[in-house]
């Protein structure tokens, strides 16, 4: 397939050599025209890790770094995004009190910040439950998210947040209080009206209109690379294929492609996305 004259970046993708297709998914992404990916930590339990302290997330993070290296060996530039999935709160509280679970999650996020500070990762991941929970769990989850924003501000990195559907407008004030520029807070699985930096799944019906408006956003697959859920959320080829369709139809110009896949992620994450 003919290569693009611009990079193609999947802003939120998981690759799992043990529980998923691993290198084959990476090769599919590359063959379809993908060049860069923000490689996001999978939830600890999906990797067989069951934390009892924040330090236990080190195993999860080190697995992600190893996968990033495997991606590079297969021709794709992978930038690790390390963090603690907000659904960890529900898993951990099966084994411990709520406050203890929150403390472990905060410690895990602080550890992720250390990896970023050491140059091993480029951003952290946090959020709050995207499903109904008790008010107490919601408040504690927001406290964990506030800690993530503070870690990111102290480290000078971006945060991807996994949370409920909708604009999540209240996170703006949380980021401002933490001292983190709102532009560096990325809403994963976003809706267009979020005041955060939106990352839209590569089939979202609003993408053509946002391109026409010159809006800054990124694209993602949220591919889970889980053999028990093949293709969820959409497959590893989806971002490059959707980009090709938009580009060849004239909806997406080369300038727009560079803005979506190169300039915006470079600016948000403080990285260099360019073609060799």
Give the pLDDT band of residue 276 (cuts 50, 70, 90).
Answer: confident
Could you tell me the CATH number of the domain that includes residue 235?
A: 3.20.20.140
* pTM of the entire predicted model: 0.97
End-to-end Cα spacing for the chain = 18
What is the tens place of the pLDDT at every residue in 47-82? Answer: 999 999 999 999 999 999 999 999 999 999 999 999
The phi, psi pair for 252, rounded to 5°, reads: -110, 115
Domain count, the chain: 1
Q: What is the mean pLDDT of residues 200-223?
A: 97
pLDDT at 235: 96
The answer as to whether 276 is a domain residue is no
**Cβ atoms within 10 Å of 239's Cβ, excluding its own:** 31
The neighbouring-strand residues paired with 167 are none
Q: What is the mean pLDDT of the chain?
A: 97
The answer as to whether 42 is a domain residue is yes
pLDDT at 130: 94
Q: What is the mean pLDDT of residues 100-124?
A: 98
What is the token pair recorded at 255? Answer: 């300038």
pLDDT at 3: 86
Q: What is the mean pLDDT of residues 112-120?
A: 98
Q: What is the mean pLDDT of residues 228-244?
A: 94
The answer as to whether 23 is a domain residue is yes
Contacts of 105 by beta carbon, 8 Å cutoff, 6+ apart: 54, 84, 88, 89, 92, 144
pLDDT at 100: 98
Nearest to 7 by CA among 79, 68, 77: 77
The answer as to whether 17 is a domain residue is yes
**Alpha-carbon span 223 to 220, nearest angstrom:** 8
Which residue range(s) make up the domain with 138?
A: 9-269
pLDDT at 264: 98
The answer as to whether 3 is a domain residue is no
The answer as to whether 1 is a domain residue is no
Q: What is the mean pLDDT of residues 107-135?
A: 98
pLDDT over 90 at 1, yes or no: no
Give the pLDDT band of residue 45 (cuts 50, 70, 90).
Answer: very high
Instruction: Name the residue with higher pLDDT: 231 or 86.
Output: 86
Cα–chain-centroid distance for residue 50?
A: 21
The answer as to whether 60 is a domain residue is yes
The answer as to whether 71 is a domain residue is yes
């Amino acid at each position: 397939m003919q290569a693009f004259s611009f990079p193609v970046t999947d802003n939120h993708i998981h690759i799992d050599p043990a529980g998923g297709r691993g290198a084959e998914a990476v090769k599919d992404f590359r063959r379809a025209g993908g060049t860069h990916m923000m490689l996001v930590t999978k939830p600890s339990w999906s990797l067989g890790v069951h934390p009892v302290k924040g330090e236990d997330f080190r195993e999860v993070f080190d697995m992600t770094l190893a996968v990033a290296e495997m991606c590079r060996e297969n021709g794709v530039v992978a930038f690790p995004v390390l963090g603690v999935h907000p659904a960890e709160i529900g898993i951990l509280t099966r084994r411990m009190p709520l406050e203890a679970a929150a403390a472990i999650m905060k410690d895990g996020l602080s550890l992720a910040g250390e990896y970023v500070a050491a140059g091993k990762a480029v951003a952290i991941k946090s959020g709050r439950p995207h499903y109904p929970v008790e008010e107490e769990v919601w408040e504690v989850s927001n406290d964990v998210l506030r800690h993530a924003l503070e870690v990111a501000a102290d480290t000078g990195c971006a945060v991807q947040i996994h949370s409920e559907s909708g604009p999540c407008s209240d996170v703006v004030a949380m980021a401002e209080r933490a001292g983190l520029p709102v532009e560096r807070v990325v809403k994963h699985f976003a809706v267009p009206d979020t005041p955060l930096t939106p990352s839209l799944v590569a089939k979202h019906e609003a993408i053509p209109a946002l391109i026409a408006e010159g809006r800054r956003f990124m694209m993602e697959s949220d591919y889970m690379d889980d053999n028990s859920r093949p293709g969820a959320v959409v497959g590893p080829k989806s971002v490059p294929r959707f980009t090709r369709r938009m580009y060849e139809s004239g909806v997406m110009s080369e300038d727009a492609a560079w803005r979506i896949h190169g300039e915006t992620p470079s600016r948000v994450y403080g990285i260099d996305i360019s073609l060799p």
